[in-house]
Structure 1
């Protein structure tokens, strides 16, 4: 699980929760059921079964893989529409090509993020490049859906290409963790992702036995999803392992810890930390459209059928890696 790393985390800026910060309790630890997406790649549905009031402004998140493809096996998605929200695709291992009908697209690989604001609507495709289909190989990533407030749902589409080298790297005082801030702010340090809804997205690698306590905005919710390894969450050390999501309650800090012993194929605890300011607006969600009312959903379907969300480009755009 390379993403982006450093040899000595102690060279990085250190994050610590202020003295007296109120620890957020853990309200629930929920299992993520397995399924398939697109043309058949395996996913874990990280938010399945969690009440939306604890997720808002996040809609859903899939862990894609981790899977070792044989030659000819890598899969993606066909062209499909989106309207009313943002998709965030974070690749940890492997390579994915993206293209949309609004002119956005590119190739993302180890530690890169593709942030697509669908806004008023577009068509989109995600697929492994031809060389990966031919060779097979390891594939692992996340896709997060972030809601847009009503005032921004019909904004022009936008594409952000976030390279691994632009991610803000931080650590804790003992150097026992590597914190990759992809979007939002943590203790005065900003990630590169530009968001319409105030959120925070962090990929943390926590060494065996290490504990981290991070300051957390009181007006944000707080979620933690384990991509690999095992540990505990909250000051009462509630157990958590790969494929589980922790839902935190209110407070101004979150705590988690990696178990002393990890599985042989997982040297560290790998966890995604999410927080956001709830939008608190009605949500109407069906398939690739996330609006505020059923009438707006119907309009999205009508516009898609009428070709108003764009057309499939006649040629695939050339993709490059920086």
Structure 2
């Protein structure tokens, strides 16, 4: 799980030491084990938010962990062209390579530690696929796709694409150097990630060394979702055990506590977490398939606009992909 690493974390800025007597650590409200499924043209995913009430996720909607899978030659898969309106997709690649393209002219290739942030806004068509050379060779693939809701005032904004290279992430460590934090968006302890957001959110990928514990300051007006990408550890001051594919939904407070088990397996030698939080939008939500709007009438209009070709057309130069599959969620 390479993402972004450093030779010596001790040269990085450090999180402040928190005073336990003056810190409100967030309790773990809910612990979910993500069910497995398939997306797009058949690549395996874990549905990280399955079973969590939407008010506890707000402003987030959906999270898929894609892989981890080691493809044989000819096996790598992506998606067909599909529409989106009313939200943002945030795709983070840990291992492997993905090509992205949309009908608004956005797109590019992302690889280890890169993030593709697509604001669908008023609507576009979109495709995600492994490059042809990776299809031919096979190889390791592992990533995440997060859906972030847009507030009503931004749902019909112009589509936008952010190409965030992994090296642009703000890098931090803990006071004892036991963890590496990569801030993709938002701010932690005065350090800001490169992602530009429509509503206040923070996203960070944290790697915790075996036996290390992390006290992470977290905005009190944000929710807090901790997803285990790999490894074993505990979350909360109550030390709830967690492992790969589990999501911990936290209650109120101004800090998170988590730790990595002393003993990890050889495949996942550290605890890797994807931590998300944001200020809830608290607006009505109408979500069906690839559209996230505020009302049923707006959903119907989105489908009508898509069928009428008003969300864009497939460019002549397409990213190679397989055919015959239905659009993903």
- TM range, normalised to the smaller chain? over 0.9
CA distance in structure 2 between the aligned counterparts of 1:138 and 1:317, rounded to whole angstroms:
20
1:15 counterpart residue number: 15
Contact persistence 2:47–2:65 (CA under 8 A)? yes
CA distance in structure 2 between the aligned counterparts of 1:36 and 1:80, rounded to whole angstroms:
16
Alignment deviations for residues 95-134 of structure 1 (CA, whole Å, 9 cap, x no partner)? 0000000000100000000000000000000000000000
Alignment of 1:217-236 (within 5 A): 217-236=219-238
Aligned with 2:91 (options 89, 92, 95)? 89
1:282 counterpart residue number: 284
Moved segments of 4+, more than 2 Å: 16-19
2:258 counterpart residue number: 256
Q: Does 1:144 align with 2:141?
A: no
Alignment deviations for residues 240-279 of structure 1 (CA, whole Å, 9 cap, x no partner)? 0000000110000000000000012111001101100000
Q: Does 1:312 align with 2:314?
A: yes
1:158 counterpart residue number: 160
Alignment of 1:1-322 (within 5 A): 1-16=1-16, 18-19=18-19, 20-316=22-318
Per mean C-alpha deviation after superposition, the further-off stretch among 8-17 and 196-205 is 8-17
Contact persistence 1:176–1:207 (CA under 8 A)? yes
CA distance in structure 2 between the aligned counterparts of 1:316 and 1:72, rounded to whole angstroms:
19
**Normalising by the residue count of structure 2, what TM-score does the alignment of the two structures yield?**
0.96
DSSP-derived class of the 1:3 partner: coil
Structure 1 residue 17 displacement after superposition: 5.3
DSSP-derived class of the 2:144 partner: strand
2:324 counterpart residue number: none
Alignment deviations for residues 288-317 of structure 1 (CA, whole Å, 9 cap, x no partner)? 000000000000000000000000001137
Contact persistence 1:105–1:317 (CA under 8 A)? no
Structure 1 residue 28 displacement after superposition: 1.3
Alignment deviations for residues 120-177 of structure 1 (CA, whole Å, 9 cap, x no partner)? 0000000000000000000000000000000000000000000011010001000000
DSSP-derived class of the 1:86 partner: strand
How many pairs does the alignment contain? 318
In structure 2, stretches of 5+ residues that fail to align are 321-329
Alignment deviations for residues 199-218 of structure 1 (CA, whole Å, 9 cap, x no partner)? 00000000000000111100
**Normalising by the residue count of structure 1, what TM-score does the alignment of the two structures yield?**
0.98
Per mean C-alpha deviation after superposition, the further-off stretch among 106-115 and 21-30 is 21-30
CA distance in structure 2 between the aligned counterparts of 1:117 and 1:53, rounded to whole angstroms:
22
Structure 1 residue 18 displacement after superposition: 3.7
CA distance in structure 2 between the aligned counterparts of 1:107 and 1:202, rounded to whole angstroms:
21
